[in-house]
Amino acid sequence: MYFIQDGFKNPIPGNGKIVLNERGDYTNKPEFISDKENNVIYQGAFFDLNTYHSLDKNLTGIILVSEKCKELVKNDFKTKEDRVQHSQKWILTAITTFIIILLSGMLYYNIHSSKKNEAKFDQISSSNTKIQEQLSLIDNKLKLLKETPKKIDTLVNSIKPEIITYHGLDISHHNGNIVDEISQIDSISFVICKATQGKHFRDPYFNSNWESLKNKKLIRGAYHFYEDDSTPIKQANHYLSVVGVWRTNDIAPIIDIEDGSLSTTKQINIEKLQKDVLKFLEHIEKETKRIPMLYTNLYFANMYLKDKAFSKYPLWLGEYTSKNQPILPKTWQDKGFKIWQKSENYHFKSTKEDLDIFYGDIKDLYKN
């Protein structure tokens, strides 16, 4: 140990250490000096003997260690360039390792996905095979159907809904008390009786017919015979006052307009006639909240009822024919008829009455 400061004079060795001054500073290692509280107050460099003698001969004063020297000592005497190069090598190694791991993962994923795709492909192939089998079965069935058209027609005809036919009568005072003679064995489902005509006439049998039909639980209807020489609103109010109230299972109000409705003393204005009849129908609909029905025949409708507005109102068509269907007036060709007065030769107890036909659900006869 070489002491270069005056503060360390007359060192006293003892107890494994050398006391350097009166304060009690001491050293027990060549490169450290501690105070009496054992705190290191000086730290020096430890040199071998040759280095020390070289320094001792050539240097005087205090040896100061540069920061670069400290850094070399701290970094195991490796220069900054060495350390940068070492860091670059480490980074390169890390990047290379990462890339290898990434490529390995991608390779594993591709192999795994490939196996899954192969499995899916097998499933799709299996599904396609099943679809082809189903298509083949359908094709065979279609061929079989084409080979047996008569059987198909028979099958279709067998599932057609049955159209039910209901028969009815329309009557007036000319028929007397015919309602009292009707019984269930006559296969009559509905009866339409005359109520009024023009603005004054009231059928003398209407009240008794109307009440008898109710008691017999027959579907009933009441019609007004229209006259063109009376105002439509007066005729409508007269009709409403006589009939009174229509029950929900009564046929809707009916206007009867035909050749006998026209005046024989004046020329017929077709446009005015149509407007007046429509006024009558609209007034009845407003007062009863039901859409009235219109009775006429083929000739009269094609001649006088050409306005498309009439097609709103269900048609009771008088068309006497032996055919299965009547010829429809132009105005109702898209709508068809509701009731068909097919014949005036229905025999009932030696008398002849008008025969009316309704096709379909009997509830539709009075529903609107």
**Tens-of-pLDDT digits for all 368 residues of the chain?**
444 444 566 677 777 788 888 788 888 876 778 888 888 887 776 666 666 666 666 655 555 555 655 565 466 545 666 666 666 776 777 787 778 887 777 777 666 665 655 655 566 566 667 677 777 777 776 676 666 655 545 544 544 456 789 999 999 998 888 887 776 556 889 999 999 999 999 999 999 999 999 998 899 999 999 999 999 999 999 999 999 999 999 999 999 999 999 998 889 999 999 999 999 999 999 999 999 999 999 999 999 999 999 999 999 999 988 888 999 999 999 999 999 998 876 655 545 566 899 999 999 999 87
Pairwise CA distance, residues 240 & 246, whole Å: 10
232-243 vs 270-288: helix axis angle to the nearest 10?
30
In 3D, which of 249, 334, 251, 331 has the Cα closest to residue 297? Answer: 331
Instruction: Note the pLDDT of residue 52.
Output: 61
* DSSP, residue by residue, 212-278: HHHHTT-EEEEEEE--TTS-HHHHHHHHHHHH----TTSPPPEEE-SGGGS-SSS---HHHHHHHHH
Pairwise CA distance, residues 86 & 353, whole Å: 125
Q: Which residues contact 71 (CB under 8 A, 6 or more apart)?
A: 80
Instruction: Note the pLDDT of residue 160.
Output: 46
Number of H helices, E strands in the chain: 9, 14
**Which contiguous run of DSSP H or E holds residue 97?**
helix 80-147
DSSP structural state of residue 314: P
Q: Which residues contact 290 (CB under 8 A, 6 or more apart)?
A: 246, 252, 253, 368
* pTM score, whole prediction: 0.57
149-158 vs 80-147: helix axis angle to the nearest 10?
90
3-state helix, strand, coil in the chain (%, to 5): 45, 20, 35
Instruction: Note the pLDDT of residue 29.
Output: 77
Is the C-alpha dihedral spanning 150, 155, 160, 162 positive or negative?
positive
C-alpha separations of 185 from 175, 181, 188, 189, 258 in Å: 20, 11, 8, 10, 33
Instruction: Note the pLDDT of residue 323.
Output: 87
